[in-house]
Amino acid sequence: MSLVAVDFVPMATTDLEWVAAQDRLLYPFPWSAQNFADSMIAGYSCWIVFEGGERSGYAVLMMVLDEAHILNISVCRSRQGFGLGRQLLQHLGEVARKAGGSQILLEVRPSNESALALYRKVGFEMIGRRKGYYPACNGREDALVMRLPL
Is the confidence at residue 34, as pLDDT, over 70? yes
Instruction: Encode pLDDT of 81-129 as tens digits.
Output: 999 999 999 999 999 999 999 999 999 999 999 999 999 999 999 999 9
- The residues with which 10 forms a beta bridge, in sequence order, are 47
Strands (E), the chain: 6-10, 45-51, 54-64, 67-75, 103-108, 125-136, 139-149
Is the confidence at residue 44, as pLDDT, over 60? yes
* Known active-site residue 17: no
Q: Which one of 27, 67, 107, 133 is the catalytic residue?
A: 107
Is the confidence at residue 138, as pLDDT, over 90? no
User: Tell me, what's the pLDDT at 3?
Assistant: 62
User: Tell me, what's the pLDDT at 17?
Assistant: 98
User: Tell me, what's the pLDDT at 135?
Assistant: 87
Identify which of 58, 84, 85, 86 has the alpha carbon closest to the alpha carbon of residue 72: 58
* Known active-site residue 119: yes
Please report, for the chain, the start and end positions of each structural domain, with discontinuous segments joined by +: 6-149
Is the confidence at residue 2, as pLDDT, over 50? no
Architecture of the domain defined by 6-149: 3-Layer(aba) Sandwich (3.40)
Instruction: Encode pLDDT of 53-84 as tens digits.
Output: 999 999 999 999 999 999 999 999 999 999 99
User: Tell me, what's the pLDDT at 66?
Assistant: 96
Q: Which one of 44, 51, 58, 119 is the catalytic residue?
A: 119
Q: Residue 88, SS3?
A: helix
Identify which of 75, 63, 10 has the alpha carbon closest to the alpha carbon of residue 40: 10
User: Tell me, what's the pLDDT at 137?
Assistant: 84
Label residue 41 exposed, middle or buried (CB < 10 Å: 0-12, 13-18, 19+). Answer: exposed
In the DSSP assignment, the letter for residue 77 is G
Is the confidence at residue 4, as pLDDT, over 90? no
Distance separating alpha carbons of residues 80 and 36, to the nearest angstrom: 21
Distance separating alpha carbons of residues 47 and 11, to the nearest angstrom: 5
